[in-house]
Amino acid sequence: MLKPLLAAAVIAVSLGACASEPWSGRGDRQATRTYQALALADIQRAAIADPLRPADEIARDPLRHPDRMLAFAGVAPGWKIADIRPGAGYFTRLFARTVGETGKVYAFVPNRTAERENGRADALVAAYPNVMRVNGDLNTLAFPEPLDAVFMSQEYHDFHIPAFNTDVALMNRAVFAALKPGGVFIVIDHAGRAGTGHSEVQTLHRIEGAALRAEVEAAGFVFDGESTAVANPADDRTTNVFDEAIRGRTDQFVYRFRKPG
């Protein structure tokens, strides 16, 4: 069973305005929003301090900035989130603790990579009762309920590689359909040089941010902001992301897209 992240009263405050809030009846909406934001930040910090997080993942925090990622995505208790190709579960663990017992995290493993990746997803399911593994085709990905967020970290470029046999336009429309109105699609990826589009997804494992943005917007999404938390201007974006000279320190963009409604 998940351990509580905060006292029940604090979590209740973070979920929305109610008569029990200290600001209730004072007509101070800004103060209420500030109080809720502080409570949510405490929940997200508690997720980062989760004792189940492996030491090797914690060691990556200074480069991956999980505090800024959770804040940018707006992840909150009760959310339903899909983590696409979660790998070892760096973000899945953070999401599981943040959404809490009333939330759900769907660890989506594509059929193509299921044989080698299902085991890691199942380990996450065993550790966190609110995590569920889902397998499917990226062109038609679907979930048991409407989602608050779909998260894709350093994976989008791969789906342009022919071996994945994915129609990225169909995938983006499937993500759009899976979200609730107002839901968000968060994409983190290795930045490619201007004008390269997705021509270097296999050679360098990079994609041009502007090209990715155009593809996602074509599915009906509205661009809703970006974070520079994992940007690195020192990366000239000409090196394969797995090269030890740049691995873990690539220039990355973080985009948030929103489904209208």
For residues 178 and 224, the answer to whether their CB atoms sit within 8 Å is no
In the prediction, which pLDDT does 10 show? 38
Round to whole Å and give the CA distance between 188 and 43.
22
Domain segments of the chain: what residues? 55-258
pLDDT digits (tens, 9 = 90+) for 61-110: 999 999 999 999 999 999 999 999 999 999 999 999 999 999 999 999 99
For range 181-193, the mean pLDDT: 98
pLDDT bin (cut points 50, 70, 90) of residue 33 is: confident
CB neighbour class for 49 (10 Å; exposed up to 12, middle 13-18, buried from 19):
exposed
Q: List alpha helices for the chain, DSSP H.
A: 8-14, 29-48, 55-58, 61-64, 66-73, 90-99, 114-127, 168-178, 209-218
For residues 133 and 125, the answer to whether their CB atoms sit within 8 Å is yes
In the prediction, which pLDDT does 27 show? 59
Round to whole Å and give the CA distance between 172 and 138.
9
Place of tokens 């995590």: 131
pLDDT bin (cut points 50, 70, 90) of residue 17 is: very low
Laid out side by side, the sheet with 222-227 consists of 131-136, 104-110, 80-84, 147-153, 179-190, 252-258, 222-227
**Which phi and psi angles does 260 have, rounded to 5°?**
-60, 150
pLDDT digits (tens, 9 = 90+) for 220-238: 999 999 999 999 999 999 9
pLDDT bin (cut points 50, 70, 90) of residue 57 is: very high
Neighbouring-strand partners of residue 40: none
In the prediction, which pLDDT does 26 show? 52
For range 10-30, the mean pLDDT: 50
The dihedral region occupied by 220, where left means phi > 0, alpha psi between -120 and 50, and beta the remainder, is: left
CB atoms within 10 A of CB 107: 30
Per-residue burial over 201-223, b if 16 or more Cβ lie within 10 Å, else e, is: beebbbbbbebbbebbeebebee
pLDDT bin (cut points 50, 70, 90) of residue 32 is: low
For residues 92 and 83, the answer to whether their CB atoms sit within 8 Å is yes
In the prediction, which pLDDT does 24 show? 53
**Average pLDDT, rounded, for the chain:** 90
Record the pTM.
Answer: 0.88
Round to whole Å and give the CA distance between 97 and 242.
30
Out of 3.40.50.150, 3.30.365.10, 3.30.70.1400, 3.40.630.70, the CATH code matching 55-258 is 3.40.50.150
Of the candidates 57, 101, 102, 99, which has an alpha carbon nearest to the alpha carbon of residue 81? 99
